[in-house]
Amino acid sequence: MPDVTKTATAVDGAVATPSVDAPAQPAKPEKTRSLWGDAWSDLRRNPYFIISAVMIFFLLLIAAFPSLFTSASPTSGDLVKHFLGKPELGNIGSPEWLGYDGQGRSVYARLIHGTRASIIVGVCVTLVVTIFGGLVGMLAGYFGGAIDAVLSRITDIFFGIPFLLGAMVVLQSFTERTVWVVVGALAFLGWTQMARVMRGAVITVKQADYVHAATALGAGTARILFRHILPNAMAPLIVVATISLGGYISAEATLSYLGLGLASPTVSWGVDISTAVDQIRVSPHILLWPSIMLSITVLAFIMLGEAVRNALDPKMR
């Protein structure tokens, strides 16, 4: 007699088979997020980050493509238009929108084209001091001993020089002060803070267990530094660099205002502020607009730095 339990029964053309309970699927472990993942998740919900990012994007767009915003030349002037015109809301975007300066040049055109010099100086100085200062601090913090002592004393010597005063002395030795000369002068004295921040971060990170494990497994010094220590010590350096960027833009404007930074024919907000001071009683709006643009730019980068700091520091959340 056939086994009833093994016999398939046809029902409506379908073959019924004994049901077998599917094995329970193991629960998938929740994916852990890194520090950078948590920071990005926090930044996306931070209104200060969104506002500052939009402002910085707009400034970068102006600096990269000034012709999209004005077709007027920032350097050619017409003395017939000497201090001609006042700000008019009905002519937004036109060369005469914000009036003309003492040489008959469009204030609006110089405002747009002056963005490039300030952004280039701020970004390039920040990149140079972050790379150089970060490297010096990383070497001093990791090796310690005599290397740390020598690099730290060199850093202290440069740190003792007043930043703006030292930059003025360096720039005074150049007859032609271009954008890259100003970048070099500011970077020459601005790397010390980055070195100190990076040194402290590396000293903390190198005590971690994964660094000791990599050393025990025979990993080389370069691999330990750039694969294990650098990615985990970058957070405080990025925060300081982001906040300092606005300070470097302000420093360039200060040096240009004092006549020791950028000079004509280079178009810069600092140069325009320096020129407009003498005419503040006649045409105060010529001083007002580059000052507003400078303040907005510095504020945008400071807001970005504060948002990044709050996101990367768990204690600030």
Q: What is the pLDDT of residues 83-98, one digit of tens each?
A: 666 665 556 656 667 7
Please give the Cα distance from 284 to 276 (Å, whole number). 8
CATH 1.10.3720.10 for domain 116-269+296-316, yes or no, is yes
This prediction's pTM: 0.81
Q: What confidence tens digit (pLDDT) does each residue in 91-127 have? A: 665 666 777 777 778 888 889 999 999 999 999 999 9
Q: Which two tokens stand for residue 69?
A: 């915003």
Please give the Cα distance from 110 to 73 (Å, whole number). 8
Please give the Cα distance from 137 to 233 (Å, whole number). 11
pLDDT reading at 36 higher than 70:
no
* Mean of pLDDT values over 2-12: 44
Domain boundaries, given as residue ranges, for the chain: 116-269+296-316
Phi and psi angles of residue 10, each rounded to the nearest 5 degrees, phi first = -85, 125
